[in-house]
Structure 1
Amino acid sequence: MDAAPFLSEIAEGPEGGRAWWLRARDSTRLRIASWPASPGGKGTILMFPGRTEYIEKYGRLARDMATRGYGMVAVDWRGQGLADRPAHRRDMGHVVSFDEYREDVEAVRAALEKLNPPKPWFLIAHSMGGAIGLRALYDGLPVAGVIFSAPMWGIRMSGFLKAISGVVMGLSKSLGLDTSFAPTTGPAAPMEFADNPLTNDREMFDYMEGQVARHPELALGGPSIRWVNAALKETETLMAMDPPDLPMLVLLGTDERIVESSAILARAATWPGCKLHKVERGRHEVLMESPDMREPLLDLIDTWCDEVMTVQAKTG
């Protein structure tokens, strides 16, 4: 594992953050970073980011969790952050299959063996990371429990797109459109705060947008048609599987506009060991909302992790 750039000036995380390069089996270069746990801490959070995201975006969350006794390890998935980007267009989210992300997780697990962060490990998986993380649980990711934040267990589309998606996605390969931007998406562009789907908090919005403004190499635009095809296939497969035998806490904002809330509500209601917490007025980034919304959630996560460990200690 060779040292990789770590943009601490925009992360605003706890002291001691470091980053390294990883290689997936197909030689794709990824990036992993860790913020150390406090002395006598409780364990480590594994952070699986969503689409378009990057390690430094979770610097403040790492700081918040450090005050509660947890270190953090985060990753740049292929195609985003400072990891290798698609050869045909670096600002397009693109994979042929979500199995590529499974290779990324495999590389992360190998890195964890070397880094050996303090246990127990808990996973926080956001948006697309929620699909990658759920698959990782089936693949044996060794965590004590998982917190899903607005997990991508279904793709939100307008009525029109849903009506035509089967035809468009089915013909995309034969028409040579697999590496075209998906309908209604396009190149990376700055977002306006007014009616943004991510957060109600202007200061947190400026923190996220300011990171990309200072480091445009982190920016990512819309997904390719092939990526959407792969995501639809993966979410359909995952939702048909039996629930993982693991404690799960699901956080979902009542003003969610990016992932399919109905899929999340349906799965959380039918999975034993799954606790759903709705965040009133919360948008997609519930862990990046205003302090009055974020702090209770962080306390909830801390308490929930304590409860999980207490139960597991009693049951052996």
Structure 2
Amino acid sequence: MELIDTPANPCPPGVKVVGVRARDGVELRAAVWRPEGFQRGTVALVQGRAEFIEKYYEVIGELLARGFVVAAFDWRGQGLSQRLLRNRARGHLRRSTDFRLDLDAFVSQLLTPECPKPWFALAHSMGAAAVLDYAGAGDASFARIVGIAPMLGLCGFAGSNLARNTAGAFSALGLRRLFIPGGGARALAQKPFAGNILTSDPRRYRRAAQILDLSPALGIGDPTIGWAHEAFLLMERLGSRDFAAGIKVPALLVAAGGDRLVSTPAIERFTKKLKIADCLVLTDARHEILMERDEIRAKFWAAFDAFAPGEPFLHEAATAAG
């Protein structure tokens, strides 16, 4: 287990890299960083589909500067965690509930022994949907959840009934391990910047592509039919009538007004079903808010700083600072 460090994308200092094992035997790469001085708690950084720890070095540094311990991991099937298929480029998932196995391993084998409470989840896209599913299944590990562009519904054709039914039918026919129709091995982040649906920031977009150019083992291509089918099952579970009411953890969901990957209206509807939650829509943002332009990211961090620690922790931090 290692982290990839390059001059253009340096790893924040003080990292400890560990391996954790899910209950079904899948090995995951994980890491933890500690800030200097007072520790305000821990931020569990939970990535989206096709992402990897190295992509978030900038964010990790910003969290460390705020006094948080930061813990992160690669989901099964991506990054340098164990792949599920012989063809490493295929982003696959066997069951939507397998995300819970990964989170269980992360919580029990890294957060519990290594990381001070309170624990805050900062989760993106697919990862945000998985964390909300984990909380709705009864887990109360996290004091607060910040979900960025959570995958609660998809945009356009990808979010249609036809796409959902097609994924289900092809999956039932035994085609689960094939790329979705039209899919291929090239990572989304390595496609041209012009017309991309992830971010309007060319520098951060180029940085992610350069990481994959230098370390292609980190990347995956498009989803498999099985992944798509399981993703629809996850979204259906989250959207079911009573599921959101079972989430007891305070949540801030941050959506992108220019998102063409996940459905911002679906995020707004879901927020209304939660007991303790708010939704912030950043009008000019595309899907990857943490990889956006500085002015957009500044709005996100202002919302995070107001929500995540909570007043008791801000007071404790001020007291410790003297």
With structure 1 as the length reference, what TM-score do the two structures score?
0.91
Between the aligned partners of 2:36 and 2:198, the Cα distance in structure 1 is 30
Task: Work out the CA distance in 2 between the residues paired with 1:197 and 1:188.
Answer: 15
Distance 1:170 1:251 in 2: 30
Residue identity matched to 1:179: R
User: CA shift at 1:122, angstroms?
Assistant: 0.4
Separation in 1, partners of 2:274, 2:315: 19
Q: Which amino acid aligns with 2:220?
A: L
Match of 1:288 in 2: 291
Displacement of 1:58 in angstroms is 1.0
Matches within 5 A, 1:272-287: 272-287=275-290
What's 1:47 paired with?
45
Query: Residue 223 of structure 2 aligns to which amino acid in structure 1?
Result: P
Q: 1 CA distance for matches of 2:108 and 2:123?
A: 19
Q: CA-to-partner distance for each residue in 1:157-194, whole Å, 9 max, x for gaps?
A: 418x7253354223214433111111242212421111
Q: Any idea what the Cα deviations from partners look like across 1:249-301, whole Å, max 9, x if unmatched?
A: 11111100111222111111332311111112100111111112212321321
The answer to whether the 8 Å contact 1:38/1:71 transfers is: no
Alignment of 1:249-288 (within 5 A): 249-288=252-291
Cα shift readout 1:94-153 (whole Å, capped 9, x = no counterpart): 112112111111111121355421221100110000111112213314111010000011
User: Which residue of the partner structure matches residue 181 of structure 1?
Assistant: 179
Mapped pair 1:100 → 2:103: no
1:162 to 156, 160, 163: 160
Give the CA RMSD over aligned residues: 2.1
Structure 1 302/91 Cα, relative in aligned 2: closer, same or farther at 3 Å? same
Q: Which residue of 2 aligns with 1:223?
A: 223
Q: Indicate the residue corresponding to 1:140 in structure 2.
A: 139
**Distance 1:41-1:173 versus aligned 2 partners, 3 A rule:** closer
Corresponding residue for 1:125?
123
State the Cα distance separating 1:308 from its structure 2 match: 5.6
8 Å CA contact 1:38–1:70 kept in 2: the answer is no
Does the Cα contact within 8 Å between 1:37 and 1:44 map onto a contact in 2?
no
How many pairs does the alignment contain?
309
Find the counterpart in structure 2 of residue 242 from structure 1: 244
Aligned partners of 2:177, 2:97: CA distance in 1, in Å? Answer: 18
User: Map of 1:301-316 to 2, 5 A cutoff?
Assistant: 301-307=304-310, 309=312
Conservation of the 8 A alpha-carbon contact between 1:145 and 1:308: no
Change in 2 beyond 3 A, CA 1:248/1:308? farther
Please, which of 4, 24, 32 is the counterpart of residue 34 of structure 1?
32
Pick which of 302-311 and 237-246 moved more: 302-311
Gapped runs of 5+ residues in structure 2? 317-322
Q: Could you say if the C-alpha distance between residues 292 and 169 of structure 1 is closer, same or farther in structure 2, counting changes exceeding 3 Å?
A: closer
Alignment of 1:171-210 (within 5 A): 171-189=169-187, 190-210=190-210
Distance 1:230 1:308, change over 3 A: farther
**Higher mean C-alpha deviation, range 304-313 or range 16-25:** 304-313
- Alignment partner, residue 73 of structure 1: 71
Determine if contact 2:177/2:225 at 8 Å carries over to the other structure.
yes
CA distance in 2, matches of 1:291, 1:279: 13
Counterpart of 2:228 in structure 1: which amino acid?
V
Who is 2:319 aligned against?
none
5+ unaligned residues in a row in structure 1: which ranges? none
Q: Is this contact kept in 1: 2:16–2:33, CA < 8 A?
A: yes
AA in 2 matched with 1:147: V
